[in-house]
Amino acid sequence: MFNIKEIYTNLGTYNLRARISVGIIFLAPWLLELYLLIPEINSISSTLIVGIITYGLCNIIIVYCRIPGVKAMKKCFPNLLPAQEALLPSNHYIDSITKHRYYHFFSEHMQDFKIFPSDSEMTPYVSSAVTWLISQTRDSSKFPLITEENINFGFTYNLLGLKPYGIVLSIVGIIINLMLLYPYFPNFTNCSKIMACLIVNLLFLLLWIFVITQQLVISAGRKYARALLSACDSNLWD
């Protein structure tokens, strides 16, 4: 018998929400097809077997999502992480007064941190500073907003990484459903489940094409950057 709490603890919040949930969204149309079109799947024993298989695939999903996900993230932020970009002198995502306050914070907490007027000179220092800040803010109980925005960021770029595969899977699902509907043409009154599967695949195709975009990842990345850098103003450092 599955212990949900134990599964949650073993996988971790980030893996569940930023990786496993991406895999579930990716497979959702086909899982729905199985449950609607194959009656045997609806039984408790079959559902348990599907659950066991899904749990067994969790680690594969976790590992696989990292590869296309990181590639997608680097397409959105090709040079630096969002927080590192935000600290560059030429970047205006964070106002200059706040940015200089963050510079002062890093100067106090990092011996080698220096401030320069040009991006090229500042890049190694902001890169090191953000890497250090990430390592210091991993405690989700102390920095819940950072954890939340980090999960959202990971969720979006992992989705973007699977976008090509999601589109193909939805198109294949649409073709299969159209083939299943063909014998009923022109009377579709007795094939409501197939119609439901067709509509779901169409909706997921629209989701992959128009919702899962680079702009979605960039927006989530900037929100994560703002949350991460706001830790510089926290009183937890005192």
pLDDT, one tens digit per residue, over 28-87 is: 888 888 888 887 776 665 667 666 666 666 667 777 778 999 999 999 999 999 999 999
Same domain, 73 and 150: yes
Tokens coding 208: 């992959």
Phi, psi of 11 (to 5 degrees): -80, -35
Tokens 């927006």 label which residue? 219
- What mean pLDDT is predicted for residues 6-34? 79
Q: How many domains does the chain have?
A: 2
Residue span of the structural domain in which 10 resides: 4-77+146-225
CA–CA separation, 73 vs 65, rounded Å?
12
Give pTM, 2 decimals: 0.89
Q: Are residues 167 and 70 in the same domain?
A: yes
* Cis upstream peptide for 186 (omega within 30°): yes
Say if residue 172 is in the same domain as residue 200: yes
Taking only the tens place, the pLDDT of each residue in 141-177 is: 999 999 999 999 999 999 999 999 999 999 999 999 9
Spatial CA neighbour of 20 closest among 58, 73, 56, 52: 58
What SS3 class is residue 138?
Answer: coil
pLDDT for 15:
80
C-alpha–C-alpha distance, residues 93 and 84, integer Å: 11
